[in-house]
């Protein structure tokens, strides 16, 4: 187990903010986690379990205990003629899992290539890209209840997955710490290539392989998203809003045709990037904070911004979009502090 005091979180948040935590604890096994959860000092202090911090915005130093898993590993639990079943340690980097699956020839997650973060967090967030979400392959999630210390397995249905939503994000249910994620992958992959510019990047004439698709996804992402190693960011800052039919019609009358995705007969998802771009905010800066020139949904830190400055900037973006379209953007990024 690792225990550090006044520990810098610069490597644990992709905005690259210079924040510290009073305590940083990292456990290697479920047994160690259980000991921490049952510790009186731990229970008396506020705590937060993090992955790599690629979806977090620290507003201040963290005056409590940051908990981090070091449980890694990908094991093949069983297989059938059609599927393989993998058990993955929560702190395994998600993109390593995708690379491993692609190398083995197992399909289902190749469209989720290059998404930053750990596998446990991926299951919390229900990460998604190019028409695929992790929920599509989840079999069950292994967790510990932070209050009762019991181990509990959540089936895919019990995870209550939705767009960037799961029971693990629900403030009204008991906090659960994910230790392992179990997924099912196909031995005969079928590809989903209709989203984004994927087809444009599939250069070969022949039938694409898993490796081709992964390569195309990586190429599209690199062309469209700023790299947090160069420019601090947390990916999409806001969720894509879902509006009702009446609002959708109202917007069409005012602004003409615009990109959208039909969620149901009465609900339409609108790209938040489009809304922000229409407000003329793409590439705009205020001091050290700005909107990426590559992608209007990404708020970036040139290097010297504080969490507060980023939050204030995000608030001004929300206000401008709300004034123009009457739509309240909801942050996808989690504010801490
Ligand atoms: C450049 C960039 C591109 C991105 N692209 C995408 C994308 O295409 N699609 C997408 O969906 N997301 C995307 N993201 C967002 C981010 O990668 C995901 O949300 C990712 O799953 C976060 O992983 P993390 O390990 O960094 O988690 P963190 O940000 O550290 O934590 C995220 C949440 O998970 C909780 N958590 C972490 N570990 C555990 C655990 N073991 N048990 C319980 N709770 C836990 C935390 O408390 C927090 O609520 C992008 C981010 C960046 C920076």
Cβ-based neighbour number of residue 297 at 10 Å: 25
- What pLDDT shows up at residue 207? 86
CATH number of residue 200's parent domain: 3.30.465.10
- What pLDDT shows up at residue 196? 75
Three-state DSSP class for residue 278: helix
CB 73 within 8 A of CB 142: no
Q: Tell me if 10 is assigned to some domain.
A: yes
Check residue 187 and report its DSSP letter. S
**DSSP string across 49-87:** EESS-TTEEESS-EEEEEEEE----EEEEEE-SSEEEEE
Q: Is the CB of 234 under 6 A from ligand 1?
A: yes
Which structure tokens are listed for 216? Answer: 């195309």
List residues with catalytic annotation. 164, 236, 332
Residues 165, 82 within the same domain: yes
Residue after which a domain boundary falls, among 54, 69, 84: 69
Residues 295, 209 within the same domain: no
- What pLDDT shows up at residue 141? 98
Host domain of residue 12: 2-69
Query: Which ligand 1 atom is the nearest neighbour of the CA of 112?
Result: 8
Residues 185, 220 within the same domain: yes
Residues 58, 92 within the same domain: no
CA of 218 to the centre of ligand 1 (A): 18
Q: Is the CB of 55 under 6 A from ligand 1?
A: yes
- What pLDDT shows up at residue 161? 97
Residues 106, 205 within the same domain: yes
Q: Tell me if 249 is assigned to some domain.
A: no
Residues 201, 148 within the same domain: yes
Mutation test residue for ligand 1: of 124, 225, 236, 239, the one with most atoms within 8 Å of CB: 124
- What pLDDT shows up at residue 194? 87
Residues 80, 191 within the same domain: yes
Residues 103, 215 within the same domain: yes
Residue after which a domain boundary falls, among 52, 69, 86: 69
CATH number of residue 14's parent domain: 3.30.43.10
CA of 232 to the centre of ligand 1 (A): 15
Distance CA 57, CA 280 (A): 24
Q: Tell me if 188 is assigned to some domain.
A: yes
Query: Which ligand 1 atom is the nearest neighbour of the CA of 52?
Result: 26
Q: Is 46 left (phi over 0), alpha (psi -120 to 50) or beta?
A: beta
Distance CA 225, CA 232 (A): 11
Residues 53, 86 within the same domain: no
Q: Tell me if 246 is assigned to some domain.
A: no
Mean pLDDT by 10 residues, the chain (337 residues): 96 97 98 97 96 98 98 98 98 98 98 98 97 97 97 98 94 93 97 86 83 95 94 97 96 94 94 97 96 96 96 98 97 95
CATH number of residue 306's parent domain: 3.90.78.10
User: Which residue has a Cα nearest atom 53 of ligand 1?
Assistant: 234
Residue after which a domain boundary falls, among 12, 36, 69: 69
């Amino acid at each position: 187990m690792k225990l550090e005091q006044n520990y810098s979180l610069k490597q644990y948040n992709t905005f690259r903010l210079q924040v510290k935590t009073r305590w940083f604890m990292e456990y290697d096994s479920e047994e160690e986690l259980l000991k921490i959860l049952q510790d009186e000092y731990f229970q008396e202090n506020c705590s937060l379990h993090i992955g790599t911090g690629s979806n977090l915005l620290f507003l201040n130093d963290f005056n409590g205990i940051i908990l981090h898993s070091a449980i890694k590993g990908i094991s093949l639990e069983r297989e059938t003629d059609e599927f393989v079943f993998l058990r993955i340690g929560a702190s395994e980097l998600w993109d390593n899992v995708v690379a491993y699956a692609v190398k083995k020839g197992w399909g289902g997650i190749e469209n989720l290539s290059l998404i930053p973060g750990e596998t446990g967090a991926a299951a919390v967030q229900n990460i998604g890209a190019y028409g695929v979400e992790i929920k599509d392959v989840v079999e069950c999630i292994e967790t510990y209840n932070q209050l009762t210390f019991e181990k509990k397995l959540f089936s895919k249905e019990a995870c209550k997955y939705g767009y960037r939503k799961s029971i693990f994000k629900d403030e009204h249910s008991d906090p659960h710490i994910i230790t392992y994620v179990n997924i099912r992958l196909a031995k005969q992959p079928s590809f989903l290539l209709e989203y984004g510019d994927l087809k444009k990047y599939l250069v070969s004439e022949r039938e694409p392989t898993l490796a081709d698709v992964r390569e195309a996804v990586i190429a599209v992402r690199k062309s469209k998203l700023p790299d947090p190693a160069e420019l601090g960011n947390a990916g999409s800052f806001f969720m894509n809003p879902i509006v009702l039919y009446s609002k959708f019609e109202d917007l069409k009358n005012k602004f003409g045709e615009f990109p959208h995705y039909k969620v149901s007969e009465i609900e339409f998802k609108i790209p938040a990037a489009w809304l922000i771009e229409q407000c003329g905010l793409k590439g705009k800066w205020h001091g050290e904070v700005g909107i990426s020139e590559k992608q209007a949904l990404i708020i970036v830190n040139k290097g010297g911004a504080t969490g507060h400055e980023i939050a204030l900037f995000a608030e001004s973006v929300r206000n401008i979009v709300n004034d123009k379209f009457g739509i309240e953007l909801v942050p996808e990024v989690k504010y801490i502090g």
